[in-house]
Amino acid sequence: MQISKVALGWMLAGLACVFFGTGGIAAGDDGVLKPIDQRFAAADGDEVPSFQKHVVNLFGRLGCNGRACHGSFQGRGGFQLSLFGYDFQADHQALFDEASPRVDLDVPDESLIIAKPTDDTLHEGGQRYELGGWQHHVFRRWIAAGAPWEKTPLKLVQLRINPPEIQFEKAGQQVQLQAVAVWEDGTQEDVTPLCRFQTNDSQVAQIDEAGRVTATDAGDTHIVVFYDNGVVPVPVFRPVSDQFGAKYPKVPAPTRVDELVVEKLRKLGIVPSELCSDAEFLRRVCLDMTGTLPTPLEVERFLADTAADKRSRKIDELLETPQYAAWWATKLCDFTGNNEAQLVNVTPVQGTASQQWYDWIYRRIAENTPYDDLVAGILTAVSRPPDQSYLEYCKEMSDLYRAGSQDSFADLPNMTHYWARRDFREVDARVIGVAYSFMGIRIECAQCHKHPFDQWSKDDFDQFKNLFAGVVANGNAAPNPETRRQYDQLVQQLGVGSLRGNDLRRELPRLLREGKSVPFPEVFVNVPQSRTGRGGRGPAAPPTARLLGGDTIDLTKTRDPRVDLMDWLRSEDNRFFAPAFVNRVWASYFHAGIVNPPDDLSLANPPSNKALLDHLARGFVASGFDMKWVHREIANSRTYQLSWQPNATNAGDERNFSRAVPRRLPAEVLYDAVQQATSSDDEIANLQRNVRERAIAIPGSGNRAGRARTSAYALTIFGRSTRESNCDCDRSMESSLLQTVYLHNDQEVLRLIESRRGGWVEQAARQLRGGAAETGTAASGSTEARGQRYLQGQIAEAEARIRRLRQSGDKRAAEQLQTRVAAMKKRLESLQPAKVAAPAPTQIATADLNGLIRQTYLRTVSRYPGEDEIGRARQYLEESGDPVKGMQDLLWALLNTKEFLVNH
């Protein structure tokens, strides 16, 4: 009988696993096997290389399984390896592929994995190693032993790097890294020659293939070491001044956050900036915490307060405002993906799901629901409890949607829309979305191959996604025959049993308005059953899922595996859930996250201050996942309250939080700031009360998600999150020419400044004339003015209602409401007084121009102007032919300053 070389290879591989080992291999005094380049320096020897430990990692070290070579999706030259390795069976099979075998068991030196990469001419990728070198000996001995491989992957317990931290003092210094692999059987091996290395900032430190680190410029970074599924970052420091270590000056550190920040700054010789002024603190914390400018009156009162604890009291005060709940609900909608375009047909009434999603989160932030409970209401959401029938569920939901209902979607215990959206239909999308939303990691690479910057393999991804495979969320699906029977019964009673798809969906809003209970989509979980083995030969292994880096779950023994996932996430030692949230909150208060970008908590992207991240995460868990604890802990720190003005040591620091780094305001915050800055005092008070009309409270993303008072165009060009992918990059904080043009010349901005009824310039014009109501509107406190504002609010609400009615197909009700709006607009016109000319310069000689100038600064840049600023502005106003136009120009100029556009 003749046996092919491929078959023979597989037979010998099995035998080699039995007869060959690593016994007798020389180890050092510490019990660590010597490096492979020493053990295989000679061609002869008894040791047989391990496929997983040595051969695959050597492929990686040589670049063979990289995406530019055989690791690409097409492979190269008829040979394909798994990208970055770790699919050991596929890689071993590829070496013995019938069409183009890379291994010759009869003549090992004729094997293509030796013949090609040692020949610069023959190999398209050039010479990767030399004949007679240790790499050659590794491959040759492995092939000569029958090319064995470990059918059950070995578990790497630890990749230990020495030294664990590097402190340089000058450029050109070098340190050699040593990597020791610790396996589950207790074996330890120096694997430095098999590791891949990268630097996260080559301007601070460089590293060669041998693991030798060289200092370059001053600063800090990480060197990352890769071996098997181990990814270990090594901190590298080089002080930026001579004030490091024992020479570091005494710096105040009143909180634990400050102590941990200063602890690292001491290693770098970076001295933090001084504290910011009270005006800077108030503006900064209001914008960061509530997405809202402080009002002029708020600034004046805060600056006049002499109490030592006024900053901490202001933080507590802001955390109780509706603006805080609105802005952070918007942020959580960013992270969870509240995108109106993905919520079509989620409910029978179109255009409501996005608002319901927002309201559900807003309620829990306003009530300070523990974050883990908030997430559990999303992550483990189902539409109805087991003891509620489908008909009872449909009646409950129909009552909720009925006009005049006192109930709200926010009252429901679960937020099912997260699972019902269109971009969550595929299980892979759910894995990526959950990992992004609640764990702060980017796992999409592991869909196809070993993650290049983390420990996750394709098998990890596939096992994790089994947690979500049983979740069903579509219109008329039924978890069991009884539910299907109730659904059929309901549509027959409604007389729409013959309708399908859009025809049925068009009828449901009408039936709801008539007081009928209509069928609702639902989210439920199918529990998989145990499977039988092949050919019916007894039970097979039960369907399982595996938590990322955690336990395996028997899916036949759990009602909903997402509950197991939630229990794991909220556990004290989970390294994703709490760190992801506190890191995102930190990033919102600073220019960067402790891990940056904040949505990439991968091993190769380590925190800039691990002790700080650990402190915040542990404290968050210990607080019972109290979201306000995180805000207080950060905002009360001296680190958060530092000035943006640098000193000689921290001018170049943008990763260690030694100073505030000015950053452009987010789109919604900036839009609202322009609205508020151009408003009268009465209008500002109205904006503070009616937060739902603000851009920071727009529920979904996309143009359809806007409100009557907001501009989709402005929000788009300033980078509002599109929520189109699982990435923080959906929100842009970049500057652009369009933003400048908008603030300089857009008709919306000019209207707010020049002709806005109830605006600041109009209020200033009245003051210039001594309070006379002769500038085109009624005095702000008059009965006429209150009537105008009431009608304007009623018109805005009615027009928003008209749009929703038209979206839901109720044209008749929309037309009736439109008639009422026309009547209200006519009434509003009758309340408008006739305009008169602006006061002449001679008429304002006694007016308090200085007071108006101060008020303009307070409502824009949230501080009092300096004497020189008052002098220049007063001179401009006095010399202008039209003082009202002069006030418009002053307001326009301040809105276009960097001081207004950035948070500092």
pLDDT at 74 over 50: yes
Q: What is the pLDDT of residue 317?
A: 98
The answer to whether the beta carbons of residues 548 and 464 sit under 8 Å apart is yes
pLDDT at 897 over 60: yes
pLDDT digits (tens, 9 = 90+) for 93-111: 889 888 788 999 989 989 9
Q: Kindly indicate the confidence band of residue 611, based on its pLDDT and cuts at 50, 70 and 90.
A: very high
For residues 667-673, average pLDDT: 96
Q: What is the pLDDT of residue 475?
A: 56
pLDDT digits (tens, 9 = 90+) for 411-431: 999 999 999 999 998 999 999
State the amino acid at position 561 in one-letter form. P
- DSSP-derived pairing of the beta strands 178-183 and 156-162: antiparallel
Q: Average the pLDDT over each of 115-119, 129-133, 196-200 and give the range with the smallest value.
A: 115-119
Q: What is the pLDDT of residue 542?
A: 63
pLDDT at 608 over 90: yes
pLDDT at 578 over 90: yes
Question: Which residues partner with 27 through β-bridges?
Answer: 33
Q: What is the pLDDT of residue 776?
A: 41
Q: What is the pLDDT of residue 540?
A: 53
pLDDT at 460 over 60: yes
Phi first, then psi, for residue 29 (nearest 5°) are -65, -25
At 688, list the tokens.
């503070």
Q: What is the pLDDT of residue 3?
A: 39
Q: Kindly indicate the confidence band of residue 785, based on its pLDDT and cuts at 50, 70 and 90.
A: low
Task: Name residue, tokens 């359809």.
Answer: 704
Q: Which residues of 502-527 are buried (b: 16+ CB within 10 A; e: fewer)?
A: eebbebbbebbeeebbbbbbbbbbee
Residue-averaged pLDDT of the chain: 87
CA nearest neighbour of 420 among 392, 390, 461, 378: 378
Q: Kindly indicate the confidence band of residue 848, based on its pLDDT and cuts at 50, 70 and 90.
A: confident
Q: Which helix (H) or strand (E) holds 246?
A: none
pLDDT at 453 over 80: no
At 695, list the tokens.
């851009």
For residues 474-502, average pLDDT: 81
Q: What is the pLDDT of residue 388?
A: 94
Q: What is the pLDDT of residue 27?
A: 66
Q: Which residues contact 575 (CB under 8 A, 6 or more apart)?
A: 549
Q: What secondary structure, in 3-state letters, does 343-394 show?
A: CCCCCCCCCCHHHHHHHHHHHHHHCCCCHHHHHHHHHCCCCCCCCCCHHHHH
pLDDT at 478 over 90: no
Asked whether the CA dihedral 749, 750, 753, 755 is positive or negative, the reply is negative
pLDDT at 828 over 90: no
Q: What is the pLDDT of residue 839?
A: 52
pLDDT digits (tens, 9 = 90+) for 545-569: 999 988 999 999 999 999 999 999 9
Helices (H) and strands (E) in the chain, counts: 35, 16
Percentage above 70 pLDDT, the chain: 88
For residues 376-390, average pLDDT: 95
- State the Rg of the chain over Cα: 33
Of the two residues 527 and 292, the one the predictor is more confident about is 292
Q: Kindly indicate the confidence band of residue 476, based on its pLDDT and cuts at 50, 70 and 90.
A: low
The answer to whether the beta carbons of residues 890 and 876 sit under 8 Å apart is yes
Distance CA(399)–CA(407), nearest Å, equals: 8
pTM assigned to the model: 0.86
Q: What is the pLDDT of residue 784?
A: 53
The answer to whether the beta carbons of residues 509 and 349 sit under 8 Å apart is yes
pLDDT digits (tens, 9 = 90+) for 703-762: 544 454 457 899 999 999 999 988 999 999 999 999 999 999 999 999 999 888 889 999
427-439 vs 371-379: helix crossing angle, rounded to 10: 170
Query: Residue 542 region, left (φ>0) first, then alpha (ψ -120 to 50), else beta?
Result: beta
